[in-house]
Amino acid sequence: MGRHKIDENDRKLEHLNLVLRTVRRVSQLLNKERDLQKLIQGICDILVANRGYHNAWIALLDESGKFTASAEAGVGEKYTSMVQSLTRGDLTDCIRKALSQPGVVITRDPPSACRNCPLSEAYSGRGAITVRLEYDQHIYGILTISIPKKFITDKEEQELVQEIGNDIVRGIDKIEKEKRRKWAEEAFQESEHRFRNLVENSLTGISIIQADRIVYQNPEQERLFGPLPRQTILASLEGIHPDDIEKVKRLYQDITSGKSQVFETDFRFYPKTNLSGNQKLVWVNCRASAIEYHGKKAILVNVMDVTRIRQLENLLRVQDKMISLGRVAAGIAHEIRNPLSGINIYLNTLEKIFEKEQCPQKVRGILDHLKSASFKIESVIKRVMDFAKPGEPKFVWTDINKPVEEAISLSSVTMRKSGIKIEKKLTADLPKCNIDPHMIEEVVLNLITNAAEAMKRMEKDKRILVESFYRKNRIFLTVSDSGPGVSLDIKDKIFDPFYTTKTGGAGIGLSLSQRIIADHGGSISVTASKWGGAQFRIEIPIKGSGIRN
């Protein structure tokens, strides 16, 4: 009896030594293997090869509990049925128990206890221990081993199996984290590569400024301003058009001092003289934003060359001016015809005096009349030419009523011949604002002629009222008419380029007018007038007018 007890202890000790050697080999494999499938297959092979266990298999699951991978040793062909069952989501009793509770799950007689298990026959004469592979509250799957029934209730055996399971899951977690890290690195590198391609090939010039020094610029920025090293044009102001220097300087100071987080403006500059010595004016739209770059404060600058756009806008503006002048052509012809008729009369009179050799005083008086009539014609022609000529905006501090009066004067004869009563209520002594007078005149004339066009089918009560007033540091201009008004369904469309309700219209007048007012830092909107027609309302700020923020 004593001898039998010794033999049993020796067998148990031998078995535990096998298990310990298995644990060491598993640990060695975990330290060197980085392929997940090879790892779990190697573990199963080690568990069986050392004859510590009859068979072993591992099944891995994703976060949703779906089967993802498995490995086995000692089971054989029957494991195919288990894989099919796992793929369908049919979990055995031991798997369900292991996934629902910590610790080991013991199955003393799998053939009778697990009749729904495809592997139950593989456990004939042996028991099974199943543990879930869990690490940091994340369940990766399960480990099942087959051992002699006499060892199945041994606490040391169970603890060793649990320890093997813990080692396995730490290895799996390490591999998964490494995979996620590599994926994140690859995704980051791919994203960085894609982002760099976008930036390097962007039609927008992009640069980063730190301490008034350019630390990065893309090829488009280099094309616009030249290669590095160089000073930023926003700080040096080198080559910027004199009319734009003050606004660029003020806005750049605001963002470098932290007063503003972002600014956007258009400005003109002359690139450095090329080999031919020619300088070409370039228009750019510049947007600067305060950012952090490598942990330090910086400024991200986006610059787009809008020279071509500005040229096209100028062409459209000239076209719109020609359309407006076409509408007031009858009035212009009338203004010219009256003094021209006088000139012809005076010339006939002068001819008769010359033939009769009358006194020189009469001749002098007639010549004075001729000069006066000529000056009137010249004045009308100059006003038309000034209005029609293209040009870059020239902002000056002046009374906004002056260009408004010019627009009313230019259109007054046409309005009178069309039976339209045009009135003005211009507030005297308005604060001066920074505007381009010709452009403001263009906008007002466009609104007046649009109002006249809207009322051309009306028989009577055709009225236009132009007002100016000051309120809360802003200048307001309104052009109101007694026409049919603007319906709600097109109210949001009338400022869109090329949208028009007029036959033969170009649809650019209101769009260009909106751009002009925006360039003055203001806004334009439409509401109903007191007569039920349309009222266009222009707001221009006194402070900062002439700057597009």
Tell me the three-class secondary structure of 198-242, residue by residue. HHHCCCCEEEEEECCEEEEECHHHHHHHCCCCCECHHHHCCCECH
Please indicate, yes or no, if residue 446 is contained in any of the structural domains: yes
Looking at the structure, tell me whether residues 536 and 388 fall in a common domain: yes
The structural domain count of the chain equals 3
Helix (H/G/I), strand (E/B), else coil: 102 = coil
Q: Which residues of the chain have pLDDT under 70?
A: 1-8, 11-12, 15, 51-52, 273-279, 317-392, 489, 492, 496-509, 543-549
Sign for the CA dihedral angle at 310, 316, 317, 318 comes to positive
Looking at the structure, tell me whether residues 49 and 151 fall in a common domain: yes
* CATH number of the domain that residue 52 is part of: 3.30.450.40
Output the pLDDT for position 57: 93
Task: Tell me how far CA of residue 446 lies from CA of 321, 450, 453, 535, in angstroms.
Answer: 8, 6, 10, 13
Looking at the structure, tell me whether residues 393 and 485 fall in a common domain: yes
Output the pLDDT for position 504: 46
Looking at the structure, tell me whether residues 292 and 428 fall in a common domain: no
Helix (H/G/I), strand (E/B), else coil: 265 = strand
Q: Final residue of a domain: which of 305, 331, 358? A: 305
Please indicate, yes or no, if residue 547 is contained in any of the structural domains: no
Neighbours of 344 (CB within 10 A): 11
Which one, of 25, 94, 90, lies nearest residue 53 by Cα? Answer: 25
116-121's contacts with Cβ under 8 Å and 24+ in sequence apart are 116/90, 116/92, 117/82, 117/92, 117/93, 118/78, 118/81, 118/82, 118/84, 118/85, 119/57, 119/75, 119/78, 119/79, 119/81, 119/82, 121/78
Max alpha carbon distance in the chain (Å)? 170
* CATH number of the domain that residue 410 is part of: 3.30.565.10
Bond before 229 cis per omega within 30 degrees: yes
Q: Final residue of a domain: which of 285, 305, 325? A: 305
Q: Which amino acid is at 144?
A: T
Please indicate, yes or no, if residue 58 is contained in any of the structural domains: yes
Structural domain span for residue 235: 205-305
Task: Tell me how far CA of residue 345 lies from CA of 361, 370, 442, in angstroms.
Answer: 18, 10, 35
Looking at the structure, tell me whether residues 301 and 320 fall in a common domain: no
Please indicate, yes or no, if residue 1 is contained in any of the structural domains: no
Q: Would you give the DSSP letter of residue 185? A: H
Looking at the structure, tell me whether residues 22 and 135 fall in a common domain: yes
Which residue in this structure is represented by tokens 């228009």?
283
Tokens of residue 448, six digits: 């007046």
Looking at the structure, tell me whether residues 172 and 299 fall in a common domain: no
Looking at the structure, tell me whether residues 362 and 291 fall in a common domain: no
Looking at the structure, tell me whether residues 316 and 245 fall in a common domain: no
Looking at the structure, tell me whether residues 29 and 156 fall in a common domain: yes
Q: How far apart are CA 291 and CA 183, in angstroms?
A: 28
Neighbours of 212 (CB within 10 A): 13
Q: Final residue of a domain: which of 289, 305, 321? A: 305
Task: Tell me how far CA of residue 263 lies from CA of 112, 209, 259, 421, 473, in angstroms.
Answer: 78, 15, 11, 44, 21
Please indicate, yes or no, if residue 193 is contained in any of the structural domains: no
Sign for the CA dihedral angle at 435, 441, 443, 447 comes to positive
Please indicate, yes or no, if residue 474 is contained in any of the structural domains: yes
Output the pLDDT for position 547: 47
Looking at the structure, tell me whether residues 301 and 317 fall in a common domain: no
Helix (H/G/I), strand (E/B), else coil: 183 = helix
Output the pLDDT for position 487: 76
Q: Which helix (H) or strand (E) holds 415?
A: helix 401-417
Please indicate, yes or no, if residue 461 is contained in any of the structural domains: yes
Angle CA 285–291–296, to nearest 5? 135
Looking at the structure, tell me whether residues 342 and 417 fall in a common domain: yes
Radius of gyration of the chain (CA): 45
Ramachandran assignment for 65, one of left (phi > 0), alpha (psi -120 to 50 degrees), beta (any other): left
Output the pLDDT for position 277: 45
* CATH number of the domain that residue 285 is part of: 3.30.450.20
User: 49-92: per-residue pLDDT in tens?
Assistant: 876 688 999 999 988 889 999 999 999 888 998 999 888 988 88
230-233's contacts with Cβ under 8 Å and 24+ in sequence apart are 232/207, 232/301, 233/269
Which one, of 247, 265, 257, lies nearest residue 549 by Cα? Answer: 265
Q: How far apart are CA 284 and CA 304, in angstroms?
A: 5
Q: Is 131 in contact with 105 (CB distance < 8 Å)?
A: yes
Please indicate, yes or no, if residue 194 is contained in any of the structural domains: no
